Amino acid sequence: VNALKQIAVVTAVAIEALPRRLGTSLIVVIGTATTVAVLISALAIARGFTGAATQSGSPNRAIVLGGTNESSSAITRADAAIIMDAPGVEHGPTGAPIASAETLLTIAFTDFHTGQDASLPIRGIGLQAFALRPETKLIAGRRFEPGRRELIVGRSLEARVGGLTIGSEVKFPDGNWKVVGIFSSGGGPYESELLADVSSVMNAFGQSSFNDVTVRLTNPTAFAQFNAALTSTPTLTVKPLRESEFYAAMSGPLSRLLDVTAYGLGFIMAFGAVFGALNTMFSTVRARRTEIATLRAIGFGAPSVIASVVVEALLLGLIGALIGALAAWLIIDGMSISTMVATGTSLHVTFGLEVGWKIVMTGALFALGIASAAAVFAARQAARISIAAAMR
């Protein structure tokens, strides 16, 4: 109990004197604050991207490709019918399988704002596509009518490219198609696409095969049954994938790069901040030399001196973490980023950055790490102060 009391007294004395060492102490605060702010921002981007890229994939859905990736894959009408009739596929109230055979093409479009040509992804979807993806909802206008030259545009694409508002026209090989609605899809990749009736799109582009077929499974475990049925059909050479796995695999490389970047930056900056903090803590110990020697001379033990140094460093580190987290929150929270899911695809995801508790905690952990690394060495120095030499 006596030792604890000593620690409390010495620490209180040290903290009370902090304002007098404000200049040097600020180094620890600023060092940890910048590290924490950068780490939190980078983690928010990484989490936001991974979340947006994978949430659009449901374990309840399976995507069937005829090739290695969606745009080079080809599935004939006959094969598509076999896939939709396979066991494990859910059927709607009318008895029709909840599935959509789709085609993915690009179309050149001149941006109204910049006057520049851009390639836009256009996806032909089946009649059951909205039942298949209930997260796809109209936010303005109406759905396209199959057989007419109409299309709907994703919210993120509409915001990015000028001239895709309701009523505007997009030039197709067979004439102008009209934008009749704008949809959202939970921030997922579809929001960066144009959607239209698959038969009309295939007619317009003179295509005879689909790119992929997406089906709703009766339940997530039905995938095994579905997969077995398709792979054992001798006439089919297709690759069924769980939709969640499909998106995870596609966004994996960028996801990993963002994670590596966030932690890489965090560790490098923390390393630099440790040395800045070492300077501060050594200087603090120097400034408190006489005080520490006096305390030791009147009977305070080395642990109380060490504890006062460590507590002071941790306190400064925590203040830094708080400022860093606050700065990151003020600057990036709510910011919206749009990026492609992987190189070589036209799929984009839009996600908002969110400074959540988990990443703030990671930031605080880094700050405490920086502070304690510096404190350990400085405390050793403080414990070594020779009473006689310091008092002379």
Partner 1 sequence: MSFWTLVRAELWRRPERTIFTIVSLVVGFFLFGLLQGVNAAFGTAMAQTHADRLMVGGRFGNSMPLADLSQIERLPGVKQVTWLGLLPAYYRDPKLSFLILASDPARFFSVMADYKISAVTLNRFVHTRTGLIVDDKVAKRFGLRVGDQVNLNSPVVKRDGSRSWTFDIVGLVSRPKQADPPFAVMNYTYLDENRADARGGMVQWFYVQAVAPERAVAVGRSIDSLFVNSSAPTFSQQESAFAAQSVADIGDAKLFTDSIIVAVFFAMLFVTGNVIFESVRERTSELAVLKTFGYSDTRVLMLIELEALTLCLSGAIAGLTLAALAFHFVGRVITSISSFLATTNTLSARIILTGLGFAVILTFVAAAIPAWSAKRLTVAHALRMRA
Residue ranges in contact with partner 1 by CB under 8 A = 23-24, 26-27, 30-31, 34, 37-38, 41-42, 45, 67-68, 72, 74, 105-108, 116-119, 171-173, 204-206, 253-254, 257, 260, 265, 268-269, 271-273, 275-276, 278-279, 282-283, 337-340, 343-344, 348
Our separate counts of H helices and E strands in the chain read 12, 12
Smallest separation, CB 72 to partner 1 (Å)? 7
Beta-carbon-side half-sphere exposure of residue 127 (alpha carbons within 13 Å): 7
Judged by CB, which is closer to partner 1: 28, or 62? Answer: 28
- Let me know: does 78 contact 271? Beta carbons within 8 Å: no
Query: Smallest gap, in angstroms, from Cβ of residue 259 to partner 1?
Result: 12
Q: Which is nearer to partner 1, 214 or 339 (CB)?
A: 339
Sequence-separated contacts (24+) of 3-9 with Cβ below 8 Å? 3/301, 3/303, 3/304, 6/300, 6/301, 6/303, 6/304, 7/303, 7/304, 7/307, 7/308, 9/300, 9/304
* d(C-alpha 345, C-alpha 243), whole Å: 16
Nearer to partner 1, 104 or 292 (CB): 104
Minimum CB–partner distance for residue 342 and partner 1 (Å): 9
Q: How far is the CB of 136 from partner 1 (least distance, A)?
A: 23
Select 40 or 98, whichever has its Cβ closest to partner 1.
40
From 86, 28, 24, select the one nearest 215 (Cα to Cα): 86
Q: Between 9 and 331, whose beta carbon lies closer to partner 1?
A: 331
Smallest separation, CB 388 to partner 1 (Å): 22
| Least gap, CB of 45 to partner 1 (angstroms) | 8
Q: What are the DSSP calls for 253-272, one per residue?
A: HHHHHHHHHHHHHHHHHHHH
Q: Which is nearer to partner 1, 91 or 160 (CB)?
A: 160
- 238, 79 in Cβ contact below 8 A? yes
CA dist., res. 381 & res. 372, Å (int): 14
Identify which of residues 69 and 184 has a Cβ nearer to partner 1 in the complex: 69
